[in-house]
Each structure stands twice: as structure tokens, then as C-alpha cells.
Amino acid sequence: MRLKSMLQSSTILLAAIALVACGGSDKKSAEGESNEEVAPTHPVPEKPIEEMSYTPEKSHFELWAPTAEKAVVRLYNGDIFAEEVEMVKGDDGLWSADVMGDKRGMYYAFQVTIDGKPLKETAGIFARALNVNGDRGAIINLRETDPAGWQEDKSPQVTPSETVIYEMHYRDMTAHASAGNSNPGKYIGMAERGTRSLEGKATGIDHLVELGVTHVHLLPTADFGSIDESRPTNQYNWGYEPKNYNAPEGTYSTNAADPEARIRELKSLVKALHDAGICVVLDVVYNHTTAAENCGFELTVPGYFYRMREDDSFADGSGCGNETASEKPMMRKYMVESLEYWVKEYHIDGFRFDLMAIHDIETMNLIKERLTALNPDILLYGEGWAASAPLYDESKLAFKRYTYQMPGVAAFSDDIRNALRGTLDLTEGGFVHGVAGNKEALKFGIVGGVEHPEVKHSDAAWCANPRQHISYVSCHDDHNLRDRLELLSPDADEEELLKMVKLAQFGVFTSQGVPFIFCGEEMFRTKQHEKNTYNMSDKYNAIDWGNKHTYSDLVEYYKGLIALRKAHPAFSLGDADLVRQHLRFIESANEAAVGFYLYDIEDIDSAKSIVVLMNGSRESVTFDVPTGDYKWVADGDTIVPNGMGSITINDGKLTVPPITGYILAEF
């Protein structure tokens, strides 16, 4: 098959750059360099990992530490040491111990001895409840953390063609005074219903319901090491510094000192979103950890869970000081079972993988298989790049160009992103700036990253299915859309900037890929032109909900784009052959003008055909359009999915004004 052969022979270096949240520097995609795969020298238990299991009669502890000569579990009442229990080693490298009696409310920590040296205490690698700052695990009854109605909670049913992802941070959405929130920056604050801005506009979940998004993408929620949970604080961080992967971060809890509170409150948020008809996606960061000396991986089996150079230093494909080794049997098992736990215990509906290209393809496919068995509609996507070359065979890693090898796993498309709004380094604008040279990349994004006979963007398409293509123009990384446009077009007035925003998202939502938007951009959000706000204050990150009133026209435009996807499944055909069969481009000599039409779609859509015209130039452009009777769906200012007026094309021509997107539909 041409797709496979071209991808296998491709040696093109990825040009995408993404912000590294752990340290705030730029990440550049890179080819991996081959190295010898580490042999699985340690036995791996077949049973699922469960380091602590509680009953009123006893607490059972297990720890995988095959290289240790001794392991103990130490119990604490608060910060006061209570007792130490020696563990017994099994043939599979798993140490175990039983502590009799009801120990609920106590804390525990493991300590292993290697080469005669006791290592620092750790909560282990699979702690599900934590003390403040996550150095010790907590003995709890998980069922006592279930909010009312939790056992009846179910994932909303979303038609794949209607999927729209909305990325957000807890503080961004709730911290500004205009959010009308009683618990800013907290799980239960985000779960509040009925919140209103000073102008009386819906905020929070009610705003999401108004928009019509189907999935909320929550920035890292698992315990991270960036903020001191022991002090009440408004300190901000994106959270890309994972410490404990299987317990929620305490910063977002109303009481970080209560191990059960953070669990209960996160579940309450998930339930509130589900009750509102919105699925929940977690941003997960398995590609690196917080400083290795503070992480359970290195404090239980030193050197195993990470990729190590020949001099025993940590490989750094993550740009954060260490990169994990998903190809090693226990790390692969760990990732799979950790994700399964989030689905089972927290009813999570999908995952976004940070620097997914550090993980190997086999592991990603296994994740898809195992999670689909729990939730057939699970949504999985990630960044198809790394910060620098991972220390593993590049051809086996989940780089964007190998997405076609991972059915059911999607990747962010820097192709459509850069084509629409320009390069990451702000050296050149994109299609919405009227800049030439972006047409083929935009067309590639329009078809959803699959092969198409009329697209000549690259040597090889990287998607086997258009729903593997995450279409977006901005996310938490880098400048947000408004700031980027202002920086690249300093002479543009606000009217022109708003036209550019609309056209950029018009391109995203008419793409065959899955549309993805960043919180607040529908309100013309600004971060004061700061590029990397990963640890900056609310001044830069909190959404001013007054903008929802000021820019109500833009909010309505976004609502129209989302409604467009729900009304017209032809914009998400979900099959590469269908895209090639039903989508044809309308050529224009203007380098910043692209048109296409979807035809013979009666069995797919309420419309017989749809014409889409995009003009990013600063002059009007006339397109050749099939003759016929149409209804206006989008006229540059307004979107009405079922039509808002009629137009007859007799001469096969239609002129589109500058910085404008048109949609016509034949019903």
C-alpha cells in the first residue's frame, strides 16, 4: 500500500515545536536514534498491581522491587511513626506484607534496601490516596469517597462525528472574580452549576453546555510536584511534573490534608460534567516524572523505569530531565493498569498523552485495546513529537508520522495549526494573515491527514482515518490565538483580528479531523502576550468572563461552528475512502484562498452537497462554484447550520470578501 510504504521510508524531521510545561522551555520535535532495546531482565507479576488493599480486618501491602534485598512498609499516625513491618519477597519480584487490624486513616511508606543501602521512603508507584505532597500513601476505603449517585454515573453517549474537545485548566476557568465561583481553582468550584459573570452570562459548566462541546480536556490532574500542598496558596502551575500517577493533585482540593477529600471532589466534578452531557478527558504525563530522586520509580527499582544512557545518566527526550521506558514490561504494564484504574474508579472517558512520541507504538496499541474493552467510546490522542531524540528505536515510537500504525489513537496536527495561524517562532504568519505557501498544508488538514489525490502537502499522509487528526490552532502551550495574531499583525485593528480568529476556527471546524479549542478563546481571551504561562499568576491565566459579554458575537460564532458539526456529519466522514469519494477541492489562483465541496452526501447528511470557501487574503476572491440553488450556512459573521437564506448560483461564480469563510448547502 502506498501509504505504508511512503511512511516506512520517510525520514523527514518533524518541525513542530511545543512548550515543555515542566520547565517552560521550547520543545522541538526530533527523530529518535536507535539504541539496543533493554532486555526484560526482571520478572513481572501477572496479577494486577495493587500496592495497598484495605479491609477493617487487615491492610495488605505489595511492592514490586526485584532488585531489593530488603523491603519494609512503615506506618504513621499523621506525621508520627507508628510501626515498621518487614515484607516477604516472592518469585515475581513482588514483596508483600499484612498488617492486622483496622488501619484506616493511617499513612504508609515503603523503604527498600539495595546493595546494603536503604533508599528514601516512598509512597510506592501506585498509591491511590496520599498525604500532603504525596510522600506517603493513605489507608482509606475508596467506596467512602464516592459522591451521591456515583454508582449510577455513566459516560455520556457522543456520536463520533459530533466530537468537539475543549481544553481547560481549573484555575483558568474559575479564578477570576468575574467567574462568579465560590471555590476558585478547586475541583468542586469547576463542578458548580448556575455560576454567572457580573453581566449575568453563564460561566463554568453552564457555559460549556451553552457552547455545545462534547469533551472537556482537563490539564494534568494526577499528583504533581510543582506546588507545596501544605500551604494555602494561589500558586499556579500546569502540572506537567508527575509524582504519583494514580491519585488526584491536592492543590485543587478544598482540603489537601484529607486524603479522601481530593478523590471525592474530583469524582464530584466528573459526575457534574457527565450530568451535563460532557465527557471527561485527562491530560496524562507518563513520558517523564518529577525529579527521579523524589519519584517512586527510582526509589523502588533504580534505573528500570527510565531510559538510561551508557554512563547511567537519564535520557532526556522529554526535555524534563528524564524519559520513561514504555517498552520495558513493567512500565508498559504500569501505564496500562494506571489508565484502566482512572477509567474504572473515576469514570474517565479519554486521555491526552503528553509527548506521546516518547512512548512506543506497541504500548499505545495495547492501551487502546485494554481501554476500549472498558469503554468502547474511549477517546485517545496525544502529541506526536518529543522534546529531543528519545533513546529508543525511532521507528517503534508513536511519532505523528506513524499514527496510521495506531488505529483509534489520534495526534495533534501541527500541519493545519501552522498553516492557519503561522509558525511557532512568530517569524511568519499563516493563511489567515494572507501569507502564501500554506494552501497545501491547509488542504491536508481539511481532509483529516489522510491520503487524497488532490493534496500534495507532504510525501506521506500520517492518518489512516481522519479522526486520527486533531485539528486545532492553539492550546495551553505557546501564545494563545488572540495574542499570536496581535503579535504577528501589530497594525491590524480589532475588527480585522476578530475576522482572523473566526476564519482560523472556521478552518478547524470544517476539517475532517476532530476539532479542539482552548478555553476562553471563544471570548477573545488574552494572556497579555506571554508565551509560556505554565507557572505564572492568575493575572495572565485566569479568564475574564466579562469578555463573554464584550465579544458575544464571537461566542455565538463558536456556538455556530460547534452546532455545524452536529448538524452536518459530512464534516466528519470518519473514513479515508469516504473522504476521497465525497470531497473535492475548488482551485483558486490566490495563494491564500481554498475552497472545497462535499457532494453526493444524501445518505450521510441532511444536505445533498456542501460548498466551503475560505479567503485568507486581503482582497476579494472569486471561486468557481457548481451552479444550483443553495442556502447560506455561513456568511462570514453568522453560522446557521440549517440555512438562513437562499442563493442561486447561475454563472458558476461566487465572490468571497477578504478574511472570510462561506458555507453554502444544497438541501
- Tell me the pairing of strands 215-218 and 279-284: parallel
Within a 10 A sphere around the Cβ of 24, how many other Cβ atoms? 15
Separation in Å, CA 71 to CA 112, 240, 355: 4, 30, 34
Q: Which of 554, 543, 552 is nearest to 178 (CA)?
A: 543
Give dist(CA 273, CA 216) in Å, integer: 8
Query: The cell 487490624 sits on which residue?
Result: 101
**Mapping DSSP to helix (H, G, I), strand (E, B) and coil, where does residue 248 land?**
strand
Within a 10 A sphere around the Cβ of 350, how many other Cβ atoms? 23
The tally of CA atoms less than 13 A away on the side-chain side of residue 335 is 28
Give dist(CA 183, CA 196) in Å, integer: 14
Consecutive H or E run containing 647: strand 646-649
Give dist(CA 478, CA 481) in Å, integer: 9
**Mapping DSSP to helix (H, G, I), strand (E, B) and coil, where does residue 355 land?**
coil
Q: What is the 3-state secondary structure (H, E, C) of 391-436?
A: ECCHHHECCHHHHHHCCCEEEECHHHHHHHHCCCCCCCCCHHHCCC
Q: Which of 302, 346, 334, 386 is nearest to 122 (CA)?
A: 302
Give dist(CA 588, CA 623) in Å, integer: 7
Separation in Å, CA 267 to CA 226, 378, 642: 23, 18, 38
Q: Which of 560, 567, 578 is nearest to 605 (CA)?
A: 567
- Give the residue ranges of DSSP H helices in 61-216: 170-174, 187-190, 204-211
Within a 10 A sphere around the Cβ of 546, how many other Cβ atoms? 16
Separation in Å, CA 562 to CA 33, 100, 215, 565: 41, 56, 12, 5
> Known catalytic residue: 62?
no
Annotated catalytic residue within 172, 258, 283, 354 = 354
Within a 10 A sphere around the Cβ of 345, how many other Cβ atoms? 15
Within a 10 A sphere around the Cβ of 240, how many other Cβ atoms? 26
Annotated catalytic residue within 383, 415, 605, 666 = 383
> Known catalytic residue: 360?
no
Asked if 643 and 663 count as a contact pair (C-beta separation under 8 A), the reply is no
Q: Which of 278, 387, 380 is nearest to 335 (CA)?
A: 380
Consecutive H or E run containing 265: helix 259-275
Give dist(CA 94, CA 96) in Å, integer: 7
Asked if 98 and 60 count as a contact pair (C-beta separation under 8 A), the reply is yes
In the structure grid, which three cell numbers stand for residue 412, read together?
495533534
Separation in Å, CA 552 to CA 10, 475, 548: 46, 21, 5
Query: Which residues are marked as active site?
Result: 354, 383
